[in-house]
Amino acid sequence: MTMFHQLMAKPWVTAQGKVDDLYAGGASSALAKRLALRVFLAVVAVLFFLLVTAYGTRMAYEDWRPAPQVSLLWANTLVLILSSIALQWAQYSVRRGRMDAMRVGLLAAGAFTVVFLFGQFLAWRQLATMVYFDVMNPAVAFFYLITGVHGLHLVGGLVAWGRTVARVWGDFDVGKVRQSVELCTTYWHFLLLVWLVLFGLLFTGNNLDLLLKLCGIR
């Protein structure tokens, strides 16, 4: 039943009572975890949405100076995509009971993620050595802030990833591992999506500019 239908129900009438009596109750822990992750992702989405909006609002001011481009970000983006693919593969494998392939996928995903984070760190360093560098420039400050927040979310993901990896050796509960892998995959895909939006909109030649113009804000 959709949320809308539920809200239309009249719980006080007899007929509806019989329908409601059929509701079997929830609380399967697998569903609960998946839902919790989704709700959490909604919260994170709001967080990044606000950051992008703040960036856009600030950009609409006269004195906006774009941040210098860091081409390393292209390579980093590629690596992050690879980590998502690796996880997708791990998920595909665990669903088909191929545990070795799953392990490879998991480990590869972790490795790519670490490389991505290191790459982001290098990008920070590069930007800091450029002549244009100036923390007082909002574009630069936003760059550090937004990439930093995104990176921290990945680090958090790595904790969950680590706990999953620790579980996949020796005897293990396949159902649980499968669920962990699925949750990790969802999370990684989501952070990849966020990154693509951030990168595409903010850090490659300020496409946001175009968007703002289209919306008539600038």
Partner 1 sequence: MDYVAHDASDFARPAEVEEMELYHPKTFIGKYIWSQDAKVIAVQYAITAIGIGLVALVLSWLMRLQLAFPNSFSFIDPSNYLQFVTMHGMIMVIYLLTALFLGGFGNYLIPLMVGARDMVFPYVNMVSYWVYLTAVLLLVASFFVPGGPTGAGWTLYPPQAILQGTPGATWGIILMLVSLAFFIIGFTMGGLNYVVTVLQARTRGMTMMRLPLTVWGIFTATVLALLAFPALFVSAIMMMLDVTLGTSFFMPAIVSMGQQLDYTGGSPVLFQHLFWFFGHPEVYIVALPAFGIVSDLISVHARKNIFGYRMMVWAIVAIGGLSFIVWAHHMYVSGMNPYFGFFFATTTLIIAVPTALKVYNWVLTLWRGNIHLTVPMLFAIGFIFTFINGGLTGLFLGNVTVDVPLSDTMFVVAHFHMVMAIAPILVVFGAIYHWYPKITGRMLNDTLGKFHFWVTFVGSYAIYYPMHYLGFAGVPRRYYAIGGTNFIPESAQALNASITIAALIVGVVQVVFLYNLVWSYFKGKPSGSNPWSATTLEWQTADTPPKHGNFGETLPVVYRWAYDYSVPGAKEDFIPQNVPPRDVVLSSNKT
Q: Which of 167, 164, 166 is nearest to 188 (CA)?
A: 164
Of the candidate spans 74-82, 140-148, 170-178, 182-190, the one that interacts with partner 1 by CB under 8 A turns out to be: 140-148
Of the candidate spans 16-24, 99-107, 153-161, 177-185, the one that interacts with partner 1 by CB under 8 A turns out to be: 16-24
Site string for partner 1, 23-62 (x = CB under 8 A): xxxxxxx-xx--xx--xx-xx--xx--xx--x--xx--x-
| Rounded Cα distance, 77 and 202, in Å | 14
- Residue 28 or 71 having the CB closest to partner 1: 28
Of the candidate spans 22-30, 72-80, 81-89, 189-197, the one that interacts with partner 1 by CB under 8 A turns out to be: 22-30
Q: What is the largest CA-CA distance in the chain?
A: 75
Site string for partner 1, 142-161 (x = CB under 8 A): x--x---x------------
Q: Least distance to partner 1 from the beta carbon of 12, Å?
A: 5
Assess 141 for contact with partner 1 (CB under 8 A): yes
- Residue 8 or 215 having the CB closest to partner 1: 8
Interface with partner 1 by CB under 8 A: which residues?
6-14, 17, 20-21, 23-29, 31-32, 35-36, 39-40, 42-43, 46-47, 50-51, 54, 57-58, 61, 63, 135-138, 141-142, 145, 149
